[in-house]
């Protein structure tokens, strides 16, 4: 939501239903990666990154880098803030859980209010 507000762009998010990994592009990339390293033991981070960087998917080499940032666990929004954010989302009735639109004008209003509440 912050990105929509800051960049003044409309964002459309379409989610895949659970258990449909065959439609998820990253799953196809992982399949290519598994074939590329052909069961070679990944004994070091450097080996894994090297194999990942050396493969190609649709003729393109991926950027492979180690992420060492620790992500906070258990971070949750209060129900009040969650309901506020929900007001900025538009949903398609027939795909209610799987498709949302965030418009920058609504995002700016809601984001400003949410910062006060958080």
Cα separation, 33 vs 18, in Å, equals 23
| Phi–psi pair at 41, nearest 5 degrees | -60, 135
Integer CA distances (angstroms), 86 to 20, 46, 58, 60, in order: 25, 42, 37, 38
pLDDT of 88-112, one tens digit each? 888 888 877 788 999 998 888 887 7
Q: What are the boundaries of each domain within the chain?
A: 2-117
pLDDT of 18 strictly over 90 = no
pTM flag (> 0.85): no
């Amino acid at each position: 939501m912050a990105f929509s507000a800051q960049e003044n762009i409309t964002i459309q998010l379409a989610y895949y239903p659970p258990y449909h990994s065959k439609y998820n592009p990253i799953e196809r990339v992982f399949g290519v990666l598994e074939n590329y390293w052909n069961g070679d033991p990944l004994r070091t981070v450097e080996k894994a990154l090297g194999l990942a960087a050396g493969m190609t998917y649709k003729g393109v080499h991926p950027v492979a880098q180690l992420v060492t940032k620790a992500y906070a666990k258990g971070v949750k929004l209060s129900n009040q803030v969650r309901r506020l954010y929900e007001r900025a989302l538009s949903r398609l009735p027939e795909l209610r859980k799987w498709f949302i639109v965030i418009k920058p004008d609504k995002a700016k209003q809601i984001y400003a209010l949410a910062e006060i509440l958080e």
